[in-house]
Structure 1
Amino acid sequence: MQHLINDIDEADFDVTRGGQVEIIGWLYQYYNTEPHDYAVNITGGAVTKNEIPAATQLFTTDWVVRYMVDNSLGKYWLERHLNSDLKSNLDYLLPGEIQIVDSSENLEDMRFIDNAMGSGHILVYAFDVFMKMYAEQGYSSRDAALSIVQNNLYGLEIDKRAYQLAYFALMMKARQYNRRALQPEKVKLNVHVFEDTDTVSPEFLDALSGEYADDIKQIIELFNNARELGSIIKFDKTFNWTKLRENVEDIHTDALDIFGMNQSKKIVLEVLTIAEIMSTKYDVAVTNPPYLNKFDPDMKKYVKKNYADYSGDLFSVFIFNNINLVKIGGYAGYMTPFVWMFIKTYEKLRNYLVANKEISSLIQMEYSAFEEATVPINTFVLKNVPNDGNGTYIKLSAFKGGMNVQRDKVLEAIANPDIDYLYRTNQANFKKIPGSPIAYWASENLIHDFEIGTPLKRIATPRQGLATADNNRFLRQWYEVVNQAICFDAHSISESIISEKKWFPCNKGGSFRKWYGNYDYVVNWQNNGYEIRNFKTPSGKVRSRPQNTEYYFREAVTWSKITSGKFNVRYRIQGSIPETAGNEAFSSDHVALIKIVGLLNTKIVDSIMACLNPTINSQAGDFGNIPILLNDSNRVLNLAKKNIKIAQSDWDTIEQSWNFKVYPLLLHIADDNLSIWYYSVVLTNRGAKNVPIFRLWGVK
């Protein structure tokens, strides 16, 4: 109740402003809070079939809904109706060219679908836009309301409770304009909830006969797991839905119905209706798809088989699926995590979209703006045509404060298209950058650098390091271990030392620090990592991954996998083992490594990395794609050496360094003011490896 009172905007309750739909969605999301937290945060493993609705149900903020529908359905209409006044009612239509399309399509034949409709928010706003279209065409509001819910709007959902709310919301919209809308014989909505067909009786299957029996059985089999797969069920052929329905309706059932024939018949007829909706082409598809990558075995197998190139997450399957669900020239709108724009997992999806479809518009939100999900969000609209112009992009990364702030900044950009966070660019530029990131803000000069520069991976080889599978067991802070068991000497690594010593320096990344430092950890690599290499599950499977071992103990350029948004690198002297959180790149050319450290600590690299991957997870592949313009100047080399030396000296002035000797300030205190502690401890224990105050429990 506290969240209901404090967290929801008062306007969401205001029925004169569409608030009845807002409040239905928010209430349902709060109702799902505990099941959602259990499925996503507590179980930790794959999300089971029954948990998917709770794990993936997120209410779509009103202004995002309006953006998606205005720039898909609204734009689709404006392209076909040059003199329409609808534009004045589309508050979130982004600036951009409206390409005129010659079309004789009847308004009653326009189809709009949300195939993960939740509580129906998108469909309800689409209803309002359709009402304005019908008014322009001279329809009465009574006739328009019935035509919209029966001819124009389609919705699918796996969650029965969400489906019921969507059905209710649409019925209330129709009733708002037509008092007879609630009479069952007057209106039939095209919104449906998926049901499994595993309850269809064997007797019903045996009763199927004739030319279409096998097709019906194939559809029944496809829907065996429909409550989990939902709208991603894939049809490999075209079916004659009318004939299939007639065949099912002709099956005789009797009053006793001891074999459940009536119930089976009802289920199959509903499944055929849903299957026909799924196989129909639409003018517009808009959805907030489920975000899910913790697949159970059945889901994982199905997705890998049918959507292998787009299987990183359910939302990426929907991105691919829905743009192909619409007709040529149609639009698909989405709200999804924005990782698909940058990271390697979704590179095939990006390549497909950039090569075959058009990114009509996109809004990238501030990293933590959408408080309802722990993922950074974007919303965008694709057009089902090859790229033929500039897209419109809005970058809201700099504006913190939640979704209301994001909304206000979008409206500012619409009012003033010359604002500096609105971009117009051709997506063909994305292919010029390795991995085709959707880096719409990249300047012409930067794109040119990618074209002519040498990828850094050709100069230094980026590699991931050791994955122990249990850091609590195999890693220690260096001062937690007795010194005699650690190999501190970078130049003395040998087979005998590896057998003798137990602990070796380990590069685990660490906090933001340039040039040098973060020598914090040691790893148990005794006898060439025997214990780690043989660390197995109870079933006997090796858990650890001691990968790229040929690069262990070599000097390197290193950077932390998790960043604060600012890319920074350090020179790592030889003698360490890289861990997965401490990425490293290697070269046999020492001078080249030092130059790389110098170049990559410049401000320009922040701009480059923001193009390649603006998330907080910096990958080895991103590093390897940084363009380098080579020259023979020693200026970079000399500056880098100087900065590394300064940073090393700075690192050694703190107690975390194993080369720490004395606080610099103590060197300037007169002898007669020095404490007994300084004489008895510091002067007699100049090496930090011998200062006993750090020995907490002395792990061997």
Structure 2
Amino acid sequence: MINIKADAAVSAFGNCEDVMDYSQLKRFAAAARSGLMSGNDEETAYYGFMRLCALAFVSYDSIREIMEEPQELRIAAFKEKCRQLSAVYGGIFLQHSELPVPEQLFDEDGAAARLTALPREIFRMEGALGWAHQGFNSPYREEIAVGLKNSKRLEAEKIAAATQLFTPMWIVRYMVQNTLCRYLEAHGYDISRGELSFGDGEPSAEKLPPEEITFMDPCMGSGNVLIYAFDVFMELYRRCGYTDKTAAESILRYNLFGLELDERACALAETALRRKAAVFGAEAEPMVYELSGADPVLGSLADSGDLIAKGGKSAVIGRLLQKKYTVIVTNPPYLGRPAMNKELSDHVRRRFADYGADLFSVFMARCMDMCADDGQLGFLAPATWLFLQSYEKLRLRIYSEYELQTLIHFEYSAFEDATVPLCTFTMGSPRKNTVGTYLRLAELKGDMEKQRQMVLSVLSGENMEYRFEADTEDFLTIPSAPAAYWLGRKLLRAFSGQTLGEIIHVREGLITGDNDRFLRRWYEVSSEKTASAAGEKKKWYWLNKGGDYRKWYGNRDYVVNWENDGYEIKNFRDCRGKLRSRPQGLAYNFRPSVSWSQITSGKLSVRFFDDSFMFNVAGTSAFPNDEKELLYILGLLNSKAVTELSAVLNPTMNMNPGDIARLPVPPRPEDMGEYEDLIRENVAICREDWDSFETSDGFERHPLI
């Protein structure tokens, strides 16, 4: 047996991993890929490089010893060292060991030499293999991403590479501390909750033996979630009086379970977990399984019965998928429905239809299916599930079956490797307390290290403006039940009242089918041919076409060809005779309205239009019944409160008629005199500003003259 010093194990309870700069390791891995791909196939290059990194991970000095050998003996020495280590660490040392070692790996300026120039501390960190793996694969992942942008569906063999995203260790700690540690504390164990704990769990009468507490990561990647959970279980067993060796063996045999579609990442997870156990003299085999052999497309989403029927290793995986787990923590893959290949898309439609907007929401539903009745769940996932209507059924299931206990909402661009806004959150079953704690960092500019520092600050009692408490019961008052945790109870409960769509008509307008053909700027056509009111026998009519962010008045730029009551547009067809235009909302043309741009800059801005205007789909409009109602609605929709509420109903750049129609409207006060005067004044000020530019039809002279 190969001896390993106890100090080689770095406890994830420490903070050193958070501040370690992994960017140089990722750059090193990407550069190594470029060099090793010269004269080698991708598989040979990958396994040569990752075995080198794994050697640094478990026996750093061995690389220096190999480099001291004559160059012609280095590859043989490397292969022999990997053979020896495979008996203890398996995984990456054992997988495809028949592959040749790239000759340039141990050149004087090769990857091994450059590796030894990196800070040694990098390879003492638990996440080193995962970062190296992601760095090596990043060029390939970027290539796949380009294909997805070009609307290509993802082939089975590319799913793993395209959807893998390494979870920073501090987020791992947050998830595990607020699921596993919370569970243990609630069940009577004296356990360290850690610096990222949000609070205490409710005590429970039942105290299970440590061996009966199960922890699953069904999308484990290189295993960093399981690695940290190992440390928590080690503390648990020690407090229960177990020896370190027995504890380590029990953890791998009874407590930790992992599944992964990528055989390479799974091999790294196995090696990392074996390293953890080897520190304590234990040699148990980790219960981690790669899924490509069982089902290379569906992975953890496969039907357990189908896998069991296959027998062998597939049956083992099938039985794992049938089990209920005490704690499930994972960073699921992110992949929209349009990018799914046919087999995956059909399976999602058949088995997870209510949650099929994205692969991550499918996995969330799968994890809920696998969670024990009193279990805990933790996720790192796109924040879109909090708000978008396509995830409504997922939200409703969570609100009805689970306590949404904690959540951290990150700034959009904080996570360098993700192209979507992310959040991490934990929840527990059964549903008892509906009030959760939320940290809103969405406006906090900065990378993940800045986000981490702010989380620690808030949890220590500072910067409490980022901390919110909300009751999921209040979310149910909002149409489609978005998790608008930051609004406060008063604003949330405003949604229980009357909506705008119940008071006035909200409509989409004309679609011409070819704006270049039918629309002009007002100054591009003769004023003699431009109508100033409905019913005039003219060719051009004023058109509200949306436009830039502008409140109260403005964006009066366009006219539309509506000659002969729009005959040409109404009969505009393609070569097959199909109508290209959509002459909708015509009954609402030439009526006073309040209007907003369907495509916004991110915030709602509403303008007044008089009865000389038509409107198209980009200038979506609402039509009050009289002037008093128009002024009231115009002022209300331009208020700060409605700006917040509209962002909840649709957090994207699009503001659809249905979103505005669902806005709550408080009863109109009887005395509106002062309010109406202020609205008229705002309109007048903005009209004067609009007319001060030559592009306005109301322009008379420049304000500085």
Q: Which residue of 2 aligns with 1:434?
A: 479
- What SS does structure 2 have at the residue aligned with 1:227? coil
Question: In 2, distance between residues paired with 1:373 and 1:521?
Answer: 40
Question: In 2, distance between residues paired with 1:228 and 1:553?
Answer: 55
Residues 1:6 and 1:145: Cα distance change in structure 2 (over 3 Å): closer
TM superposition shift of 1:540: 8.9
2:635 corresponds, among 574, 598, 608, to 598
Q: Which residue of 1 aligns with 2:68?
A: none
Amino acid at match of 1:633: D
Q: Which residue of 1 aligns with 2:365?
A: 320
Q: Are the equivalent residues in 1 in contact too, given 2:498–2:665 (CA < 8 A)?
A: yes
- What SS does structure 1 have at the residue aligned with 2:594? strand
Amino acid at match of 1:187: E
Q: Which residue of 1 aligns with 2:143?
A: 35
Matched, 1:123 2:166: no
Matched, 1:371 2:401: no
- After TM superposition, the structure 1 = structure 2 runs for residues 9-158 of structure 1, keeping only pairs within 5 Å, are 14-21=122-129, 23-24=131-132, 26-28=134-136, 30-41=138-149, 43-82=150-189, 84-87=190-193, 90-95=194-199, 97-158=200-261
1:228 corresponds, among 297, 302, 308, to 297
- After TM superposition, the structure 1 = structure 2 runs for residues 496-645 of structure 1, keeping only pairs within 5 Å, are 497=538, 500-501=539-540, 506-521=543-558, 528=566, 548=585, 550-552=587-589, 554-574=591-611, 576=613, 578-629=615-666, 630-635=668-673, 636-645=675-684
Residues 1:298 and 1:568: Cα distance change in structure 2 (over 3 Å): same
TM superposition shift of 1:93: 1.0
Kindly provide the CA deviation profile for residues 251-278 of structure 1, in whole angstroms up to 9, marking residues without a partner as x.
Answer: xxxxxxxxxxxxxxxxx42222222111
TM superposition shift of 1:7: 7.4
Q: Which residue of 2 aligns with 1:277?
A: 320
- After TM superposition, the structure 1 = structure 2 runs for residues 336-415 of structure 1, keeping only pairs within 5 Å, are 336-415=381-460
TM superposition shift of 1:162: 2.7
- After TM superposition, the structure 1 = structure 2 runs for residues 155-166 of structure 1, keeping only pairs within 5 Å, are 155-166=258-269
Amino acid at match of 2:236: M
Q: Are the equivalent residues in 2 in contact too, given 1:653–1:663 (CA < 8 A)?
A: yes
Question: In 2, distance between residues paired with 1:449 and 1:556?
Answer: 24
- After TM superposition, the structure 1 = structure 2 runs for residues 192-271 of structure 1, keeping only pairs within 5 Å, are 192-195=290-293, 226-234=295-303, 268-271=311-314
CA RMSD across the alignment: 3.5
Q: Which residue of 2 aligns with 1:660?
A: 699
Amino acid at match of 1:463: R
Kindly provide the CA deviation profile for residues 453-506 of structure 1, in whole angstroms up to 9, marking residues without a partner as x.
Answer: 3211112333344566776x5586626x84149975351367x65xx55xx655
Q: Are the equivalent residues in 1 in contact too, given 2:377–2:426 (CA < 8 A)?
A: yes
Q: Are the equivalent residues in 1 in contact too, given 2:646–2:659 (CA < 8 A)?
A: yes
Amino acid at match of 1:308: A
- What SS does structure 1 have at the residue aligned with 2:464? coil
Question: In 2, distance between residues paired with 1:13 and 1:476?
Answer: 64
TM superposition shift of 1:610: 4.6
Kindly provide the CA deviation profile for residues 496-543 of structure 1, in whole angstroms up to 9, marking residues without a partner as x.
Answer: 65xx55xx655443322110112345567778486697666x999877
The unaligned stretches of length 5 or more in structure 1 are: 197-225, 249-267, 667-700
TM superposition shift of 1:574: 4.2
Q: Are the equivalent residues in 1 in contact too, given 2:183–2:201 (CA < 8 A)?
A: no
TM superposition shift of 1:3: 6.0
Residues 1:606 and 1:428: Cα distance change in structure 2 (over 3 Å): same
Could you state the TM-score of these two structures normalised by the residue count of structure 1? 0.76
> Which segment drifts farther, 515-524 or 304-313?
515-524
Q: Are the equivalent residues in 2 in contact too, given 1:289–1:334 (CA < 8 A)?
A: yes
- What SS does structure 2 have at the residue aligned with 1:154? strand
- What SS does structure 2 have at the residue aligned with 1:163? helix
Amino acid at match of 1:86: S
Q: Are the equivalent residues in 1 in contact too, given 2:219–2:258 (CA < 8 A)?
A: yes
- What SS does structure 1 have at the residue aligned with 2:704? helix
Residues 1:440 and 1:541: Cα distance change in structure 2 (over 3 Å): same
Question: In 1, distance between residues paired with 2:566 and 2:341?
Answer: 37
TM superposition shift of 1:119: 2.3
- What SS does structure 2 have at the residue aligned with 1:664? coil
Question: In 2, distance between residues paired with 1:93 and 1:487?
Answer: 70
1:445 corresponds, among 490, 494, 504, to 490
Question: In 2, distance between residues paired with 1:110 and 1:353?
Answer: 23
Amino acid at match of 1:24: A
Q: Are the equivalent residues in 2 in contact too, given 1:612–1:622 (CA < 8 A)?
A: yes
Question: In 2, distance between residues paired with 1:541 and 1:164?
Answer: 57
Q: Are the equivalent residues in 2 in contact too, given 1:63–1:407 (CA < 8 A)?
A: yes
TM superposition shift of 1:137: 2.1
Question: In 2, distance between residues paired with 1:105 and 1:139?
Answer: 15
Q: Which residue of 2 aligns with 1:201?
A: none
Question: In 2, distance between residues paired with 1:470 and 1:418?
Answer: 52
Q: Are the equivalent residues in 1 in contact too, given 2:389–2:480 (CA < 8 A)?
A: yes
Q: Are the equivalent residues in 1 in contact too, given 2:457–2:463 (CA < 8 A)?
A: no
> Which segment drifts farther, 582-591 or 12-21?
12-21
Q: Are the equivalent residues in 1 in contact too, given 2:542–2:613 (CA < 8 A)?
A: yes
Percent identity, aligned pairs only, is 34
Question: In 1, distance between residues paired with 2:528 and 2:266?
Answer: 62
The unaligned stretches of length 5 or more in structure 2 are: 1-20, 30-117
Could you state the TM-score of these two structures normalised by the residue count of structure 2? 0.75
Residues 1:39 and 1:3: Cα distance change in structure 2 (over 3 Å): farther
1:491 corresponds, among 530, 533, 540, to 533
Residues 1:551 and 1:397: Cα distance change in structure 2 (over 3 Å): same
Q: Are the equivalent residues in 1 in contact too, given 2:388–2:651 (CA < 8 A)?
A: no
Residues 1:525 and 1:301: Cα distance change in structure 2 (over 3 Å): farther
TM superposition shift of 1:66: 1.2
- What SS does structure 2 have at the residue aligned with 1:85? coil
Amino acid at match of 2:366: N
Q: Which residue of 1 aligns with 2:288?
A: 190
Question: In 1, distance between residues paired with 2:474 and 2:519?
Answer: 46
Residues 1:231 and 1:531: Cα distance change in structure 2 (over 3 Å): farther
Question: In 1, distance between residues paired with 2:234 and 2:579?
Answer: 62
- What SS does structure 2 have at the residue aligned with 1:324? helix
Q: Are the equivalent residues in 2 in contact too, given 1:359–1:387 (CA < 8 A)?
A: no
Question: In 2, distance between residues paired with 1:461 and 1:12?
Answer: 67
TM superposition shift of 1:378: 0.9
Q: Are the equivalent residues in 2 in contact too, given 1:487–1:505 (CA < 8 A)?
A: no
TM superposition shift of 1:663: 2.1
Q: Are the equivalent residues in 2 in contact too, given 1:369–1:401 (CA < 8 A)?
A: yes
Residues 1:26 and 1:455: Cα distance change in structure 2 (over 3 Å): same
Q: Are the equivalent residues in 1 in contact too, given 2:504–2:622 (CA < 8 A)?
A: yes
TM superposition shift of 1:409: 0.9
Amino acid at match of 1:455: T
Question: In 1, distance between residues paired with 2:188 and 2:371?
Answer: 20
Amino acid at match of 1:171: R
TM superposition shift of 1:613: 4.3
- What SS does structure 2 have at the residue aligned with 1:190? strand
Aligned length: 592
Residues 1:325 and 1:665: Cα distance change in structure 2 (over 3 Å): same
